[in-house]
Structure 1
Amino acid sequence: MGNRTALYQSHVDAGAKIVDFGGWDMPINYGSQIEEHHTVRQNAGMFDVSHMTVVDVTGPDARAYLRTLLANDIAKLDDFIGKALYSGMLNEAGGVIDDLIVYHLDGWYRVVVNCATRDKDLAWMTRQSEGFAVTLQERADFAMIAVQGPKALAQAKQALPEQNDLIDGLKVFHGATAGDWFIARTGYTGEDGLEIMLPEADAPALWQTLIDNAVAPCGLGARDTLRLEAGMNLYGHEMDETVSPWQANMGWTIDLKDAERDFIGRAPLEAQQAEGVPAKLVGLVLRERGVLRAEQTIIVDGVEATGVITSGSFSPTLGFSIALARVPAEAEGEAVVEVRNKRLPVTIVKPNFVRHGQSLV
């Protein structure tokens, strides 16, 4: 038996198929992953993401600490209470320990990291806090529900009439506290929506209220195909401690503007940039029959095994297979992927396929 969220019994009662996910017993689907995927693209669905790790960073050195810890610069948030920032947390070699979101709140910061990397993330964050006047508090008392889709905000407002003003006032990639709750306009699907952090005891009632207001429960299977269509990275696939952000389509998260800011991993990243990054993360489109999967090899310009798929699946929205893949920096145009001893033609595209329900390829 793995760890269980406060919503575990709600999933079981709804007939969810439960699987192990990073040591947690989580719903993979409630009957049809495809239907759940379409629900989020066309209407409103919700996910239990309580397995994510929330860490509050407080103290007089919180800002200085995070400016050292993260490749992106939280100084960008100084004038914006509630604004969020996406960043990599890197090791000394410039590899990605984890990717995360940090929110700037009133005098402190809230960081959300991945569940599968919880232990090493917390150990690393604690180790790097030495010498800084900061306190790190894991909020294990929180549950988190993500409500996503074109109708997500409207349906959430019906379920939470007392929070209508807060929800109406939220800009994209911003969050705000509401008593013991925290509501952010963020997500992992390529659709608009909310991520609601709340005390575990409140989670089952909110889950049921959302169901009563036409928000469909969805499992982690649909969440994965949705994030893939949106070109969003998954830790352990598109990046890990051996992969530079330059090679994971995360170059836009590396802030080198302030020459005085010596964040962890900066020197190796600058050296890689000067030398020329040898590989990049791209999208692949396969319009023939077949399904692209992680670890399939890619042939570029007739050279065997010059690239590899990091994530791949059939795209329910597009009706054909798509993938994220790491290929040589100069690769473009057409390539070939080995699928079950067959060589199938693919097109190299920008690493995003669908946003807000619309095809980008």
Structure 2
Amino acid sequence: MEKTPLNQDHRAGGARMVDFGGWEMPLHYGSQIEEHHAVRRDAGMFDVSHMCAVDVAGRDARAFLGRLLANNVDRLTVPGKALYSTMLNPDGGVIDDLIVYFIDDERFRVVVNAGTAAKDLAWMNARLAEWALAVDLTPRRQGAGALAMIAVQGPQARQQVWRVLPEARAASEALKPFFAADAGDLFIARTGYTGEDGYEITLPAERASALWQALAAAGVHRCGLGARDTLRLEAGMNLYGQDMDEGVSPLDAGLAWTVDLLSPRDFVGKAALLERGQGQQFLGLVLLERGVLRAHQEVVGEHGRGEITSGSFAPTMQQSIALARLPLPTAVGETVSVRVREKLLAARVVKPAFVRHGRVLV
């Protein structure tokens, strides 16, 4: 398995290590539930160095991303601004979901998922060759210039980062959500995957261990993939490979807001989306009986059948919740049935997110 620059820190901290998309990553450090609550109530940190930062540079960088991505990078005009987007195949299926940061008119940074990085880079390079554009793609995960990423999330996350990195406060304090700034050799983004405030800090790989240890010494809770998954589910955030993939349209995965179909700009997959339109709704479920909702469970309602894509027990809510693709007529507030171990259990249809900034929303 691949290992991040923090692998030995995880082992020294007593983490339970698991295979995650070919990467050896921490599942938890003893209690997934405690790690979840730490992020909702205080501050927790995650090693996200398995994600792949790709620098996109050259005079045609904006044109390249404009044809490659479903969202419109022409909205990026202020340095540091971030944009969430899907990258589609010609049939309108999701190759990956990603964040792109605007540095200047000839420099962008794209952060793609760990398990899809090789596929994404192959796709991007193939499109670059096909379109014959003046762009250099530089993945920053291995070798010289390798980067690590640490996400610090929670209501106290920013204060804790400034406590450990006081020199970064001037560059990061005024950042609005979904903006990033350079602070020396740090790239600090006010983004995350938990529904809480905080930063995602990109830094040279050789500095990662020292920052991780300093944050831990300051009282930031070390967190693994288990808490990351329950936090993102409560926040109503999609997970690639579960809630969408190459066979799923972003319109059916609750990601229509990441797709710009109104401007005259063409992009890969646009024609297929316009031709097919939306076929399903992407909504949330709250279980009304005892049990646990899981991916691939069947949902039965008055408008037909659907399927859960992600489901789990929600520690903040003390209930089981799920994300599901359901028939188009399904409305928020309806009661549907979920097949759990051959029993049909009642669930209420809600609009995600379930929890944001520590507040239950449904």
User: How many residue pairs end up in the alignment?
Assistant: 353
- Residue 288 of structure 2 contacts residue 345 of structure 2 at CA under 8 Å; is this kept in 1? no
Q: Could you give the per-residue CA deviations for residues 106-155 of structure 1, whole angstroms, max 9, x where no partner exists?
A: 23100000001111101001111121100000001111000000000001
SS of structure 1 residue aligned to 2:321: strand
When the two chains are superposed, the root-mean-square deviation of aligned CA atoms in Å is 0.9
Pair 1:20 & 2:25 matched: no
Which of the numbers 256, 265, 270 marks the counterpart of 1:266? 270
Q: Given the alignment, which residue of 226, 233, 245 partners 2:250?
A: 245
Cα distance in 2 for partners of 1:351, 1:151 equals 24
Q: Secondary structure at the match of 1:85?
A: strand
Q: Distance in 1 between matches of 2:288 and 2:35?
A: 23
CA deviations 1:28-57 (Å, max 9, x no partner) are 000000000000000000000000011000
- Partner amino acid, structure 2, of 1:100: L
CA distance in 2, matches of 1:164, 1:54: 23
Q: What's the offset of the Cα at 1:166?
A: 1.2
Q: 2:89 aligns with which of 88, 91, 96?
A: 91
Length-normalised TM-score, structure 1:
0.96
Q: SS of 2:201's equivalent?
A: strand
Q: Which amino acid aligns with 2:95?
A: I
Structure 1 contact 230–354 (Cα < 8 Å) conserved: yes
CA distance in 2, matches of 1:117, 1:300: 34
Give the structure 1 partner of residue 342 of structure 2: 341
CA distance in 2 between partners of 1:249 and 1:302 (Å): 19
Q: 1:161 aligns with which of 161, 166, 172?
A: 166
Confirm whether residue 256 of structure 1 aligns to residue 257 of structure 2.
no
2:7 is aligned with what amino acid? Y
Q: For residue 355 of structure 1, what is the aligned residue in structure 2?
A: 356
User: Residue by residue, what CA displacement relative to the aligned partner does 1:301-342 show, whole Å, maximum 9, x if unpaired?
Assistant: 185xx1110000000000000000011111121100011121
Distance 2:293 2:84 in 1: 28
SS at match of 1:335: strand
Classify the secondary structure of the residue corresponding to 1:292: coil
Q: Does the 8 Å contact 1:142/1:198 carry over to 2? A: yes
Local SS of the residue matching 1:50: coil
Aligned sequence identity (%): 58
Matched AA of 2:259: I
Residue 188 of structure 2 is aligned to residue 183 of structure 1: yes
C-alpha contact (below 8 Å) 2:15/2:28 kept by paired residues:
yes
Question: Is the Cα contact below 8 Å between 2:193 and 2:228 reproduced in 1?
Answer: yes
1:122 counterpart SS class: helix
Equivalent position of 2:118 in the other structure: 119
| Counterparts of residues 99-248 of structure 1 (less than 5 Å) | 99-106=97-104, 107-130=106-129, 131-140=132-141, 141-248=146-253
Q: Could you tell me which runs of 5 or more consecutive residues in structure 1 were left unpaired when the two chains were aligned.
A: none
Write out the 4+ residue segments of structure 1 that deviate beyond 6 Å after TM superposition: none
Secondary structure, aligned partner of 2:285: strand
Deviation of 1:6 after TM superposition, in Å, equals: 0.6
Deviates further, 159-168 or 219-228: 159-168
Tell me how far 1:266 sits from its aligned partner: 0.7
Letter of the 1:294 partner, please give it: A
SS in 2 for 1:129: helix
TM-score with structure 2 length normalisation? 0.96
